[in-house]
Chain A
Amino acid sequence: MSGSARVEEHATCLGCGCTCDDIAVVIEGGRITDARNACALGLRWFGDGSLPGAVIGARSAAIEDALGEIATVLRSARAPLVYLAPDLTSEAQRAAIAVADQLRAFVDSATSSTSAEGILAAQRRGRATASLGEIRNRADVIVFWAVDPTLGYPRFQSRYAPNPVGVHVPNGRRDRTVIAVDVGAQRGPDDADLRIQMTPQDEQAFLASLRASLAGYTVGDPPIVARVNELAGRLTRAKYAVVVTDAELASEVPSTRADALIAITQSLNATTRGSLCSLRAGGNRNGADTTLTWQTGFPMAVDFSRGVPRYTPDDATLARLGRGAFDAALVVGASASLPATVAAALKGVRTIVIGPRASESGLDATIRIDTGVAGIHESGMAFRTDEVPLPLRALLPTPRDTASLLKALGAAIAASRGAA
């Protein structure tokens, strides 16, 4: 069966938000046997590329009939949810949002459960950011605020900062100062040049004191102030300071962190240059925010039920599921990567899954259609954690293309409306 191995160069990995696009994927006998350059997370994400290709739970296995049946279920629902799970191309995300718009559904993604605080803070304040290429080439002071990228973002340090040589940091790591801020068990990287530790209870006071210090005031108890001034000095003496934070933890830390880190990095620009780098997990999560934003004006939690997009970030998927607001749900994408809270709360809702390994989904779904994984079986576009778009190529055949399937579902919904 197997021919000789082929290598797909420059593949893009969606294992985390780093979205490394230098992966050489080795394929033998229709299976991925290696993903060179990939980290452990990436190797896990690529896997061997095998996928089921089933259509389960529909009265007919013919895809057109199954789509017609799904269209009927969703059209007859009073309050449907369309949920963008990870591992979708942006083309599939756009098609899913279109379906939600058509259905007057509520549309959301993992973002509202895991990363809403940073987005809401940025909507209040704006933000100072830099793309990863800028950080790589310019940042001379890098603060890892309660995040050690070796865990969730393994190649961040080698690909972006602090390790690479950059235009304005020609000696790479030696030209950069790395500062780890440990907030309780949320530790920065081990090999930092400076380590600042605090308890979670002290974080808010520390952030407030740091903001004050950058504005030229002294606020806080002496032990805090000393550490604050040390950090503020390093930041303001930097040519280009970057604070790195894990945006996926937003639901687990006080919302004051996201807000304060934005304010701090913005205020650095009064005297030097500074940016905030928010790390997002894999699967093109940023793509969901970006495509939702350009199609509706809002990055998450969009309610179409009144025939126009309404933004309800304070009443997002989890809150609505909690009070039984939905009578049907269409989960698109990798249902295995749903936030556990969302997966649990979906119990009891009539659910349809369209995505990779839908047939094996742990969700209690009535109809399941297997499709491919963005960037492994499906081509298109994905957004890096810094919102830079990258191409995805299909390395292996997909059971059926998610974006095309969702467009066909849209047509089936339109046809059922015409018939109604």
Chain B
Amino acid sequence: MTQLRITGGAIHDPANGIDGDVRDICIDGGRIVASLPADAPVLKADGMVIMAGGIDIHAHVAATSVSLARRLLPEEHTLDPTSAPALLDGTIPRTGTGGTVPSTFTTGYRYAGLGYTTVFDAAVAPASARQTHAEFDDTPIIDGGFYALLGNDEYLHRQIAANELGRAKDYVAWILKSTGGYAIKAVNPGGIELWKRNVREVKTLDDPVGVANVTPRKILEVLADAAIALGLPHPVHIHCNNLGVAGNVATTLESMRALEGRRAHFTHLQFHSYGGERGKSWSSAARQVAEYVNGHPEVTGDVGQVMFGDATTLTADAAVEYLLHTSTGRKWVNADIELETGCGIVPYTYKDKAAVAALQWVVGLELFLLSADPWRMVLSTDHPNGGSFMSYPDLIRLLMDRAYRDEKLKSVNQKMLAGSALADGIAREYSLNEIAIITRAGPARQLGLKQKGHLGVGADADITIYSRDADYAKMFSTPRYVLKGGTLVIEEGQLRRAPAGKRIFVQPGYDQALLRDLGKYFESYSSIQLANYPVTGLRDTPVATGAS
């Protein structure tokens, strides 16, 4: 591995308390080191801004659902073909297609082009995990991991029904170990299974899922406790019930209260922070959610900002997609998957002249601007649901530049904005350090990734160097240099090297007694042999867990 000294740049490394100081960064063997020999090669970054590589805590980039969406969108891909980059490292460069759901190679190239070096796929059906690994293998540069969908799993529900909570925990560990996943995901807990039974609405957290003692509340508790008991680096990652529905803030706050005192991550909160009443009115309830999060240090979240333009809604929360299909008339995929989860896909366009889209845009920005602790409310668009990851630079500008934001606010549909905090005026502008927090340091901390998201000694040399620009969207969309594991992947704004990324996963332990009962269940109900379920041949070293 090559050595490199980066000199002259202003370092924004909030994890180490550094806010714009000019100092050298030394790299050796893919890691950041304390010092280098005087004759080590130098990269001059005078006048530039240096941050750790970006970390996307919640995106959809490598999963069955993503491939189903790719297949659904040939028209998008036809409009955005990408030629092979001129690589200097001997890697065979690949063409691809973009749009809101790009092909794998294009996904890797484009994330790196934005200075992002680590991405988590937020929703993988465990039975299809081997496809996710293969897609990540074809997604260069970025380190990838994923969350395994467990909130609607028949076997888990059976353990809850039988009050076999120890076995439920072991099953969670087995799923993560078998799939090479990183964290537990709960999407609309219980609600996807209900959708498969043609029950389309979860009214309360205590609605029964088949039997009285399996409820969204219980599922949340069991999964949150499992993550804690297994010592997982990231807590349970929760997509609440009632996504996208007016008045859903009640469900969201009730879910948070249900887990009060337990570590939990609530994702794309923008989609869960609406006041008003179903079928009648909509309003922003971002302030209530932000206030709850502000007051509860055990809670973390990401925003799931909506950005105006084309998106593809793609979620395990399939019932929502049916509603979107019927309300928009646009094409629709539903896939029910192996007693584990579901999948729904509808292409969607957020129009600034549409009242609900404008409200969603405002709710997201309010969550950013009203959250007191940026470490606990980080950036996401739930790519590609709220918008593509390619819109992150524009989102950063909205957060850093009040004049730009207020100007934009004037141009959107005002119908549902009365009384919203943003309409009343929020002066806050994010600083460069706060941007570094919500795009790298915060996600790393939430994910328990000790070697990422910062520039201290021992960290992975994933580094992004920006030329300053008064237009922050421009600044963040075209990093001057990006290093991944010490390799200079972006040089003078051009993609020059595309090393393979690593896989980020855990291998928690479990009581082997589980396998007898699980074997019987597979024998009775599964279409896959138990022996064929686990993914084998995982490269790289797993991230340590408390129980391994």
Contact = CB atoms under 8 A, between A and B. Distances in A.
Contacts of B128: 388-389
A390 B532 contact: yes
Contacts of A388: 127-128, 337-338, 527-528
Contacts of A94: 134, 138
Nearest to B530: A10
B346 to A, nearest CB: 8
B82 A381 contact: no
A391 B524 CA distance: 21
A9 B78 CA distance: 44
A295 B96 contact: yes
B532 A294 contact: no
Nearest to B73: A297
Contacts of B135: 294
B95 interface: yes
Interface string A28-70: 0000000000000000000000000000000000000000000
B83 A297 contact: no
A307 B95 CA distance: 7
A255 to B, nearest CB: 17
Given A126-B332, A295-B103, A290 B67 contact: yes
B215 to A, nearest CB: 19
A294 B138 contact: yes
B64 A387 contact: yes
A269 B83 CA distance: 41
Contacts of A137: 154, 339, 525
B64 A102 contact: no
B82 A293 contact: no
Residue with the highest number of chain B CB atoms closer than 10 Å, among A91, A130, A166, A388: A388
A295 B335 contact: no
B95 A309 contact: yes
B95 A308 contact: yes
A402 interface: no
Given A90-B134, A102-B92, A131-B527, A293 B84 contact: no
B70 interface: yes
Given A125-B331, A297-B97, A289 B529 contact: no
Interface string A115-135: 000010011111111111110
Contacts of A294: 66-67, 70, 103-104, 135, 138
Given A294-B70, A389-B130, A134 B78 contact: no
A414 B195 CA distance: 51
Interface string A283-324: 000000111011111110000100111110000000000000
A126 B99 contact: no
Interface in A1-28: 9-10, 12, 21-22
A236 to B, nearest CB: 11
Interface in B58-78: 64, 66-68, 70-74, 76-78
A332 interface: no
Contact of B82 (A126, A127, A273, A308): A308
A389 B127 CA distance: 8
B532 A297 contact: no
A98 interface: yes
B526 A133 contact: yes
A22 B529 contact: yes
A107 to B, nearest CB: 11
B94 interface: yes
B332 A134 contact: no
A173 to B, nearest CB: 16
Interface residues of A, number: 67
B531 interface: yes
Given A131-B337, A137-B339, A309-B97, A10 B67 contact: no
A152 interface: no
A213 B202 CA distance: 30
B241 interface: no
A317 to B, nearest CB: 17
Given A269-B334, A295-B105, A138 B72 contact: no
Contacts of B325: 126
Interface in B318-368: 322, 325-326, 331-339, 345-346
B96 A297 contact: yes
Nearest to A166: B525
B485 interface: no
Contact of A391 (B90, B130, B335): B130
Contacts of A234: none
Contacts of B68: 387
B532 A304 contact: no
B131 interface: yes
Contact of B95 (A9, A90, A119, A304): A304
A127 B138 CA distance: 26
Q: Is the interface on chain B under 10, 10 to 19, 20 to 34, or 35 or more residues? A: 35 or more
B339 A134 contact: yes
Contacts of A128: 332-334
Contacts of B103: 293-297, 309
Contacts of A144: none
Interface in A71-112: 90-91, 94, 98, 101-102
A21 B532 contact: yes
A381 B337 contact: no
Residue picked from B83, B95, B105, most chain A C-beta under 10 Å: B95
Given A310-B81, A389-B128, A297 B67 contact: no
Given A137-B525, A388-B338, A390-B528, A309 B130 contact: no
Contact of A289 (B71, B195, B197, B531): B71
B525 A136 contact: yes
Interface in A365-408: 381, 383, 387-391
A98 B532 contact: no
A123 B94 contact: no
B301 interface: no
B115 interface: no
B339 A167 contact: yes
A124 B331 contact: yes
B372 to A, nearest CB: 41
B102 interface: yes
A239 interface: yes
Contacts of A127: 333-334
B70 A165 contact: no
B95 A165 contact: no
Contacts of A123: 71-72, 74
B524 A309 contact: no
A275 interface: yes
A206 interface: no
Nearest to A390: B532
B161 to A, nearest CB: 12
A76 B77 CA distance: 29
Contacts of A391: 130, 532, 536
A165 B338 CA distance: 15
Interface in A235-273: 239-240, 266, 269-270, 272-273
Contacts of B130: 381, 389, 391
B228 to A, nearest CB: 29
Contacts of A167: 154, 339, 525
A254 to B, nearest CB: 21
A241 B200 CA distance: 17
Interface of B: 64, 66-68, 70-74, 76-78, 81-84, 90, 92, 94-97, 99, 102-105, 127-128, 130-131, 134-135, 138, 154, 195-198, 322, 325-326, 331-339, 345-346, 524-529, 531-532, 536
17 contacts: A91-B134, A101-B94, A131-B127, A131-B336, A131-B337, A131-B527, A134-B337, A167-B525, A266-B334, A272-B198, A273-B197, A294-B66, A294-B138, A297-B96, A310-B78, A388-B128, A389-B130
Given A134-B337, A165-B524, 9 more contacts: A22-B529, A123-B71, A126-B345, A131-B335, A136-B525, A166-B525, A296-B97, A297-B77, A387-B64
Which 10 A-B residue pairings sit nearest by Cβ, starting from the closest?
A297-B77, A308-B81, A297-B97, A133-B527, A133-B338, A126-B331, A130-B336, A126-B332, A126-B333, A134-B336
